[in-house]
Amino acid sequence: MIPFWRDRKPGPKPPPPEHGVQMKRAGTTWWGQRWIDALLTMSAAYGSRMARGRTYARRGRTHDVEVAAGVVRAKVTGSRPEPYDIEIRIAALSDPTWDAAIQSMAASAELEASLLAGRMPERIDEAFRAAGASLFPAQTKDLTTECSCPDWANPCKHVAATHYVLGECFDRDPFLLFELRGRPRDRVLADLRAARGGNDSPPAAEVDSVSLRGVRAEAYDLVPGGLPPMQFTFANDRAADGVLARMGRPAAWQLEEGPAEVLGAVLGAAAQRARGVAGSGE
């Protein structure tokens, strides 16, 4: 006897929604590719099923994606008019784990500088491993997935499509990884600044006097010889208020708008004027 649902011919599949997230290419950054690779290598079964969702992701059938601490929610328009509800859960890291990882980040000038500049350093997982954790999933038990479709496989093609779209979302904003593991970008950067400024390094030794042999005080700031010819170029490849935004609010700042909003336009105008002066030789 043939089950009744196999005797029914499926109707035409609804088109992707206009606001669907059309994946172009997931994994254009190392962290986006690391997310996809982690899923593909998690287990043979998981990796083989991932390809089922790639077409859905490329056609924009995944939409309404939400990322919060420990959970991703999305909708996928499949073969029925009503979209399927997707939920992907990954354990948010505990506060002690995050605090230990932050201390490891602050201890590395490379990690700290990259994060404060808005980049995800390739050695970021070293900080989490030092805290006994990982930023990326490693085993199937690290992920819990649910879909309202009748497919029992894990992942079904709707969950797999969401995984691929999520990889491209990470390409665009690496700090979504932090959000997913329990801490938003602003808090991570604030904790990193606090850890950087709160080190208990010993004070510098005081020097009573300095003796400079062979140097006359009146000639100290004179150029000893001719300077070689120098050429300068001025690139405008960053937003004028980018430094202010990364520095954050000073402790004494009392305005509702941040420094970037208040001073960004003035700083941009000054930078443009400086480039003009340098280029004209005034």
- Confidence bin at 204 (pLDDT 50/70/90): very low
pLDDT at 238: 54
Residue 103 confidence (pLDDT): 92
State the pLDDT at residue 121.
86
Helix (H), strand (E) at residue 147: strand 143-147
Mean pLDDT of the chain: 80
Q: How far apart are CA 189 and CA 118, in angstroms?
A: 10
Query: pLDDT value at position 229?
Result: 76
- Beta-bridge partners for 89: 71, 144
User: CA-to-CA distance for 248 and 244, rounded, in angstroms?
Assistant: 6
Q: Where are the alpha helices (DSSP H) in 131-258?
A: 157-172, 175-180, 185-197, 242-247
pLDDT score of 159 more than 90: yes
At 84 the pLDDT is 94
pLDDT(88) > 70: yes
Per-residue model confidence as pLDDT tens digits over 265-281: 787 788 778 777 776 65
Full 3-state SS string of 38-103 = HHHCCCHHHHHHHHHHHHHHHCCCEEEEEEECCEEEEEECCCCCCCEEEEEEECCCCHHHHHHHHH
